A and B are shown apart, each in its own frame.
Chain A
Amino acid sequence: MRRRGTVGSLAVALAALAVSPRALADGDGFKIGEAGRLHVYGQVNAGYDSNALFASNGTPVGSGVMDFIPGFKLDVAGRMLSLKLDANLDYKLYLSSQATAYNLSRLFGGATLGFDVNKDGSIGLELTDAFTSSPNTTSLSLDQSSVSNYNVLNLAIPWRPGGGALTITGSGQWILNTFESYGPPACPGGSTTCSSVNDFNYNQYGAKLQGKWAFLPRTAAVLEASYFNRAPSNTTVSIPVQGVRVLGGAVGLVTSHLSATVEGGWGSVIDTPQVTGSTWLADVEVGYTIEGSIDARLGWIHDFSADVGTAYAVYDYDRVYLALRWVVNRFTLKLDGSWQYVKYILNDVTGPIWQVTPAVDCELARWLIVGAFYTYTDRSTSNSSIPAFNYSRNQIFGYVRATW
């Protein structure tokens, strides 16, 4: 499923956040067999996070932060089988003199694995798995600090009858997200409204059937239907939610440089006694790409999602996003921004989440890159009593990365 199911994008996103916000050049690596190559890399980030933790009076406390990220990548590109593996560890070191902040230091990590079998044949097999352990989470409803261990497994079987213009893909997905406590107790005083964070663990199962007809070489009509079932470990603190989506439209190149995505559909929560309702769906995006020079995307999404908790179990949202990449000689200038307006279905709590990240990379050598980025995040809601839903955060980091 793509966000909705998107195994790929989510996995990439999680891996990217665990490593860095940019893709970097590689060195020669080590040859493995006839078609394999192994790269090892190391990255050091150093910067400042304005919201390392909250003080007892609710004031954000900033801290210097360093990340030490060793990892490796393995690429095997065979005709029948291709394999990609990327794994890394991330030791996050808080440099604050406050013991509370310093004690947040710990080891995180992530790994992605992808198999692609018979990708040029009439029937293929795609298997991907992505695991990330991080203090960041895609759960917008979680109001406690936690370590999110997120694993998503996706299996897809594309069928390409008649040469590949038409592709029918059936896929299944399994997400396992577990949480560990992180930092000081999130609910001092033992509030009854605050559960142990690992009570929010959940499994989510999904299935999707997609038909794609490439009526031009790089432009296709798409029709897909998907189903998901979120099964929380503890149904007293989280609601089981099931839902379906039907989506159709067109995607691909409009001109040699201009691409567009226009999709619309309908989604609904089903067989969930506590929640009823449906919503329309939309994916609209315009992209402009000059290979090796410029890549720009501007889009808008309207969708819904299940989440942890009871009153915050389902929300729909509008999201506008922008992503720019501009390569100038050795430098790559980047700008990522998004505005997401969330509306919870059961309690009508609403609120926007802003995020903007300008960044620059400099390729000193093919294997060595230095760079810097700044991220500003602002979240607010109509329920101002929850600090985790109302904050501003500034992060600024520099980094150096070597890949061989």
Chain B
Amino acid sequence: MGFWPGNRAGSGLDVHRSLPVALVVGALAAYPAVAQVPKTSGLTGAEMLDKADKDIVEMKQSLKQVLQRVSDARSENDIVKLNCVNEKLVQVKGLLKVAEQADIGLQEAVARKDEGAESDFAKIGIARTKVDQMRVEAQECIGQLAYVVDEKTQVEVEVPKDLPTGDPTSWSAPPPVMVRPPPASPYQ
């Protein structure tokens, strides 16, 4: 289970965008008090910085993928899919923002050799996990075209131009050879 229940297609057309962000920020801010995480990662400060950088790069890649899904949904004029993917996008943005802030805190804590570095490092790791989850859920968003078929549905079949008319599977042999034995044959 994650911090947010997965939002799937059709879960609602009217999404309040500020709610997920508030939940993300609030949950991560309260993380040290509620989450059951190891107290230490066992990594050195440099290793934590390196791992945090990689996680943020991955989260940005996930953001790009979700943005592409949003673009696809817009081009398809599919409001159901767009709402679903937008919801994931908002959450990914919030998580990325939290992770970037935690990364700054991590760098400062490492520089100060403060034990608070572990807390910021854990936030980044959790944010990465949640972003991956949002990316997957965004890919699973389905649109109205997947289940809405009504009188407005049109199916367009593109047929190559200049196709032969008729039924080419009804092959018939060419006309037989015709002969005309001439009259008055001298054949005995």
Contacts and interface: CB of A to CB of B under 8 A. Distances in A.
B14 interface: no
B187 A253 contact: no
Interface in B136-188: 160, 162-165, 167-169, 171-188
B185 A145 contact: yes
What range describes how many residues of A lie at the interface?
Answer: 35 or more
A137 B179 contact: yes
- Size category, B interface: 20 to 34
Contacts of B186: 54, 56-58, 188, 387
Given A4-B173, A291-B162, A137 B178 contact: yes
B183 A256 contact: no
Chain B contact residues: over half helix, strand or loop, or mixed?
loop
Contacts of B172: 2-3, 6, 8-9
Contacts of A57: 186
A137 B180 contact: yes
B164 to A, nearest CB: 4
Nearest to A15: B175
Contacts of B160: 256
Contacts of A214: 169
Contacts of A355: 177
A187 B181 CA distance: 12
Contact of B181 (A16, A146, A323): A146
Interface string A210-235: 00101000111010000000000000
Nearest to A354: B177
Contacts of A242: none
A253 B168 contact: yes
Nearest to B178: A136
Given A138-B177, A140-B177, A253-B164, A54 B182 contact: yes
Contacts of B164: 253, 257, 259, 289, 291
Interface stretch (A26-34, A35-43, A69-77, A178-186): A178-186
Contact of B169 (A12, A138, A183, A219): A219
Nearest to A191: B188
A144 B175 contact: no
A17 interface: yes
A13 B176 CA distance: 7
Given A54-B185, A144-B185, A259 B178 contact: no
A145 B187 contact: no
Interface string A173-215: 0000000001111111101011000000000000000001010
A391 interface: yes
B184 A186 contact: yes
A293 B185 CA distance: 44
A256 B162 contact: yes
Contact of B168 (A2, A143, A251): A251
A189 B185 CA distance: 11
A52 B182 contact: yes
Nearest to A288: B164
B176 A10 contact: yes
Contact of A218 (B168, B174, B178): B168
Contacts of B162: 256-257, 290-293
A53 B184 contact: yes
A194 B181 CA distance: 14
Contacts of B183: 52-54, 100, 104, 145, 182-184, 186
A4 B172 CA distance: 10
Given A259-B168, A291-B165, A9 B173 contact: yes
Contacts of B182: 51-54, 60, 145, 387-388, 391
A365 interface: no
Contact of A194 (B165, B177, B187): B187
A321 B176 CA distance: 10
Nearest to B165: A291
Contacts of B177: 138, 140, 319, 338, 340, 353, 355
Given A52-B182, A136-B179, A143 B171 contact: no
A379 interface: yes
Given A4-B173, A257-B162, A140 B188 contact: no
B187 A12 contact: no
A143 B184 CA distance: 11
Nearest to B163: A256
Contact of A291 (B163, B167, B180): B163
A186 B180 contact: no
Contact of B174 (A54, A138, A292, A323): A323
Interface string A254-267: 00110101000000
A3 B173 contact: yes
Contacts of A388: 179, 181-182, 185, 187
Interface of B: 160, 162-165, 167-169, 171-188
10 contacts: A13-B174, A14-B175, A17-B178, A54-B186, A144-B185, A186-B185, A186-B187, A257-B162, A259-B168, A299-B174
Given A185-B184, A292-B162, 8 more contacts: A16-B175, A137-B179, A140-B177, A251-B168, A252-B171, A291-B163, A377-B179, A387-B186
